[in-house]
Amino acid sequence: MRDALSQIEGNHHGIVLTTDNKGAVNGLATDGDIRRRLLEGGTLDEPIGSCANRTFVWETPATSRESLIKKLDHRIRFIPILDKDRRLVGVVSREHLPVQLEEAVYARSRSPVRISFGGGGSDLTHYFSEISGAVINTTVSLYSHATLRVRNDSKILLSSRDLGQTLEAEDLSTALNQVGCFGLLQAILKAISPDFGFELYLHSDFPMKSGLGGSAVVSSAVLGCFNQFRRDKWDMHELAELAYQAERLHLGVAGGWQDQYATVFGGFNFMEFRMDQNIVHPLRIHPDTLLELEESLLLCDTGTTHESGDIHEDQRREMQQDDVRILVRNNVELSYRMRNLLLRGRLLEFGHALDEAWQTKRRLSSKISNTRLDAVYDGAMRNGALGGKLLGAGGGGFFLFYVPPFYKHQLMSHLEATGLKVQPFRFEQEGLRAWTVREGRNHIEMDSK
């Protein structure tokens, strides 16, 4: 006990631990335990084990900080940390509670697609370079999903379920120079130039080239993941601009600006485009109006894809003609009117305005519609739709129809009878969402099972 008192004096905890001949901790003694033994007639030459507490409180390395803090707050001054063999691996006290170290994390994100109602063509830079453009759109509950994991080396792995392909490279430079179907992702990597190796996994709830702004949605999801590893995070405008930069400047695909802003910002927005700045105006539409509009819209997959870049290039050429520029200007004015109709809750007029938007849009380029798409639209109008439009650049993808409540079943039955798929959806008020997850609480635990 004399030696134990010396140890207690030196360690400032008021406690010593006892062990068996194999090094397993089997008791704990305090200076108070020693005093009580001396008062009972013991001597300082007795073994410390004669007064050690065999039922002391101890914990394992897996014990949560929350549990340790609660025990220290409940009259316990010192907690030994013992391994499975009861060997000492650490101590915890009020004065010595180790700082929690950062664990490995991975980032996840999802970004929604948009459906556009009016103003198409006016979000092209070559149009609003001379006169301002405006569009109205909203995001819906179909997403691109991304997961990003940082590696300890410079290797890069890209895996896309949409493409059914994987790209592997030793470093960023090698990844950027590989030839294949990962052009969009390579353009994003060129725009942001990450200085670490990583694994990136992607999948989407919608088909490629569907007219829902899918490439911008994928770009947004990817950027959202990388943003989680930045100290100086990009804001929403910067994310939209980076997505545009990657697709339009680096990849060289022609197109407008609304897709990138829509998926990043989310919700119902009225957007104005000028050379000095793009402005996103969130719309405060009455909840009852939103619910009724959601129930009155049908999203229909035509089963055909389109190349939006080719159509936008054709529109760029057509835009040189005065009559086409007048049509786009009419579309801009219509988008202002559609905004006001939604804010006032005048949905029947909004439905008719969709038809007006489609009739204007299909005249912007000969590539926007064709005989089959015209037949789909005309059939929908004969079976209850008040209006609708082909989403995106045109040429295929999804039709959006407005239908009054008592004709909705008729229209759905007609579309399905002609082999078309009606896609359920809900309005999505949130845009890009990104977050980080500790690997030790998810991925690694699953690997160990």
- CA proximity to 138, closest of 269, 295, 14: 269
What does pTM read for this prediction?
0.82
Tokens at 375, concatenated:
């037949």
Report the share of the chain in percent with pLDDT over 90. 62
| 314 vs 356 pLDDT, higher one | 356
| CA 412 vs CA 35, 88, 260, 299, 380: distances in Å | 87, 70, 31, 10, 9
- CA distance to 141, 196, 334, 411, per residue, from 377 (Å): 24, 49, 20, 11
Q: Which of 220-229, 235-244, 247-256, 351-360 has the least mean pLDDT?
A: 247-256
pLDDT of residue 318: 62
The verdict on whether 153 is a catalytic residue reads no
Confidence check: pLDDT of 449 > 50 = no
156-176: pLDDT as tens digits: 999 999 999 999 999 999 999
Q: What is the pLDDT of residues 133-153, one digit of tens each?
A: 999 999 999 999 999 999 999
Whether 444 has a pLDDT exceeding 70, the answer reads no
Helix (H) or strand (E) holding 297: strand 297-301
| pLDDT score for 392 | 78
Active-site annotation holder among 123, 232, 235, 259: 259
Q: Exposed (0-12), middle (13-18) or buried (19+): which is 125, by Cβ within 10 Å?
A: middle
**Residue boundaries of the structural domains of the chain:** 2-93, 106-428
Specify the pLDDT at position 316.
Answer: 62
DSSP 8-state assignment for residue 79: E
Q: What CATH code would you report for 106-428?
A: 3.30.230.120
Q: Tell whether domain 2-93 is in CATH 3.10.580.10.
A: yes
